[in-house]
Structure 1
Amino acid sequence: MRGSTEETGTAGYRPLLFSIAYGMTGSVGDAEDIVQDAFLGLTRAHQAGTVIAAPKAYLTTAVTRLGINHLSSARVRRETYVGEWLPEPVVVTVDRPGPAEHAELADSLSMAFLVLLEALSPMERAVFVLREVFGYGYPDVAAITGKTEANCRQIFARARRRIDAGRTTADSAPPRERRAEGDELARRFFEATEGGDIHALLGMLAPDVALYGDGGGKARAIGKLLTDQQRVVKLLVFGLRKVRKLGASLRPARVNGRPGAVLRDAEGRVASVIELDIADGVIRSIHSVVNPDKLGHLGPVSDMARLPEK
């Protein structure tokens, strides 16, 4: 279906367009739909005889404005969401590349960052994502959003203050070193979790480590944000021990550009996706998505943690 709407020479823009849409919505499915709608709009414009001199700019503008409209209509649903809200994970594994095979996701599109973006208005989010994540200049941001350059600068400054107020300490190591060290720490973390080595785990977690769980009212997840280091460790160890008895296994993955893992049941179905936020040599936050609605794009979903239908 995509081939029928993506004309020769424009399909290569899909990675960028998907990433912008995902940064706007935090949803893989919604991002795909928005990109598809943008390509459909381009096709219709061509069929109507409209000359599109800059198709990349046309598509980027369409995706951004569709994202703004989507966020405006989705805000009520987010306000009534059951429990902690986390974005749909973008997962890269050796055996199942998933949607990230066509996504130019930056490190700044981690789950923690996407959660921070939820505090912004749709327009603030659009301006901030375009400028901060994808490096668009203010003239381009203004053209894409339909605002003046001066207005975009004001919007960005306001959004930046709100985002910076919620950010945690960033690791000062160069990106490549940070990634290598993070991958190694993640490997030891999951190994210690599976082995039940509580002492080793305590040494890897920040004293104020935060554990977020997103079940969306449809799967068993922690009821609220957990920040007690001892309780986080015990929940992880005993929780994994319980599902391991049912044949579940953890498989390393990169989740939103960060170290993580996918929990699969005995039949290989996805039960949970875990992302680790690592900085200064310790794990500062853990994000676990078990809401089945947010895992379907990764393949068959397990009913291991699913709550019974009411």
Structure 2
Amino acid sequence: MDSRTQTFEEQRWRLFGLAYRLLGSASEAEDMVQETYLRWSRAAEAVEEPAAWLTKVVTNLCLTHLTSARARRESYVGPWLPEPVLTSGGPLGPLETVEQRESVSLGVLVLLERLSPAERAVFVLREAFGHSHAEIAGVLGIEEAHSRQLHRRARAHVGEARKRFDSDAEQHRRIVRGFLAAAVEGDVATLERLLAEDAVASADGGGTVPAVRRPVRGRVQVARYLRGLHNRPEMAAVTFEFAEINGEPAALAWWRGGGGLFGIITAELTGGRVTAVRTLVNPGKLAYVAAQLGTSAPGMIEL
């Protein structure tokens, strides 16, 4: 490996993490990182600050791509959810702080859809990667004051709806594990006990797999919805495992007999209660995690 390629490879996980947070899609993030590599390999001039150069290129590629991606999502069949990623030992690198784990959670990625592309870029660069507004201004080609304004606007749009991980990480994990186990078993009593009164359940089938096309709202309604999923005939042909997805425990449903990944269930926790349940069954959204687990099996945990 030559020194130029080695320099890029040292930055790859960071570039992927940035692109993923900007796009909410692992497969699209990989495409942006690959295009960044091609531009890096063709760059004739000597780059004095490779990390800054690569950050600028991948960010602006993502902004261009995000404009068309958002247009596609407006015509998406049913709720659009981000593409999940296996995070324990995965391509996003170490998620050592609360802020790092929060920034890749499905809940936060959904909230980032509220932002304009420029707001999202400033928010991610500032909140997830700790860049100064001077650095962000250089990446985006704007004034530093404009970066500050975009950041204030982004924080206001995300606002109080922004989910925070509970300070007690083990308690957070224990509650989520218990909820997912109850969902797998169809334990309505436990589901109702752990669900918040205003809980919301959504499912992403992408129009290719049957899934509820409108969010289910309310504690009792969400519990009944999950019980209904448990009672579906195909569940007899499914087995469950548990993994760390986007920094949090998730239930992975597999077709028995090596038939492949059927779906992923995640739960968002706020104040000790589950406020959001997200189910992904769109095969296109499951391919990345399936590939991760097909080559190796990092991140598997026991509930």
Q: TM-score range by the shorter chain?
A: 0.7 to 0.9
Task: Judge conservation of contact 1:5–1:40 (CA < 8 Å) in 2.
Answer: no
In the TM superposition, 1:143-292 aligns within 5 A as 143-164=138-159, 166-167=161-162, 170=164, 173-174=166-167, 177-178=168-169, 180-242=170-232, 245-268=235-258, 269-292=260-283
Partner of 1:87: 82
When structure 1 is superposed on structure 2, of 143-152 and 156-165 the one drifting more is 156-165
Residue of 21, 26, 35 corresponding to 1:23? 21
Matches of 1:263 and 1:153, distance apart in 2: 43
Q: Helix, strand or coil for the counterpart of 1:106?
A: helix
Matches of 2:196 and 2:227, distance apart in 1: 17
**TM-score relative to the length of structure 2:** 0.87
Matches of 2:77 and 2:234, distance apart in 1: 27
Partner of 1:131: 126
Task: Judge conservation of contact 1:209–1:285 (CA < 8 Å) in 2.
Answer: yes
- Aligned in 2, Cα 1:92/1:128: closer, same or farther, shift over 3 Å? closer
Residue of 116, 129, 134 corresponding to 1:121? 116
**Structure 2, unaligned runs of 5 or more:** 292-303
- 1:242: Cα distance to partner? 2.7
- Aligned in 2, Cα 1:243/1:262: closer, same or farther, shift over 3 Å? farther
CA deviation string 1:60-100 (max 9, x = no partner): 1111000100011222211111110100001247xxx6645
Task: Judge conservation of contact 2:82–2:106 (CA < 8 Å) in 1.
Answer: yes
**Structure 1, unaligned runs of 5 or more:** 301-310
Task: Judge conservation of contact 1:106–1:133 (CA < 8 Å) in 2.
Answer: no
- 1:106: Cα distance to partner? 2.9
Matches of 2:235 and 2:254, distance apart in 1: 13
Matches of 2:94 and 2:82, distance apart in 1: 15
Matches of 1:24 and 1:6, distance apart in 2: 26
- 1:166: Cα distance to partner? 3.7
- 1:237: Cα distance to partner? 2.3
When structure 1 is superposed on structure 2, of 234-243 and 144-153 the one drifting more is 234-243
When structure 1 is superposed on structure 2, of 244-253 and 122-131 the one drifting more is 244-253
Matches of 1:165 and 1:98, distance apart in 2: 30
Matches of 1:186 and 1:278, distance apart in 2: 7
Task: Judge conservation of contact 1:107–1:258 (CA < 8 Å) in 2.
Answer: no
When structure 1 is superposed on structure 2, of 288-297 and 231-240 the one drifting more is 231-240
Q: Helix, strand or coil for the counterpart of 1:263?
A: strand
- 1:224: Cα distance to partner? 0.4
Partner of 2:102: 107
Let me know the Cα RMSD of the aligned residues: 2.1
Matches of 1:4 and 1:198, distance apart in 2: 58
> What's the % identity of the aligned pairs?
36
Report the AA paired with residue 14 of structure 1.
Answer: R
Report the AA paired with residue 29 of structure 1.
Answer: S
Q: Helix, strand or coil for the counterpart of 1:147?
A: coil
Residue of 273, 295, 304 corresponding to 2:286? 295
CA deviation string 1:143-197 (max 9, x = no partner): 11111101111111111111105435x45x42xx23x112211222233233332
Report the AA paired with residue 12 of structure 1.
Answer: E
Task: Judge conservation of contact 1:16–1:103 (CA < 8 Å) in 2.
Answer: no
Task: Judge conservation of contact 1:275–1:286 (CA < 8 Å) in 2.
Answer: yes
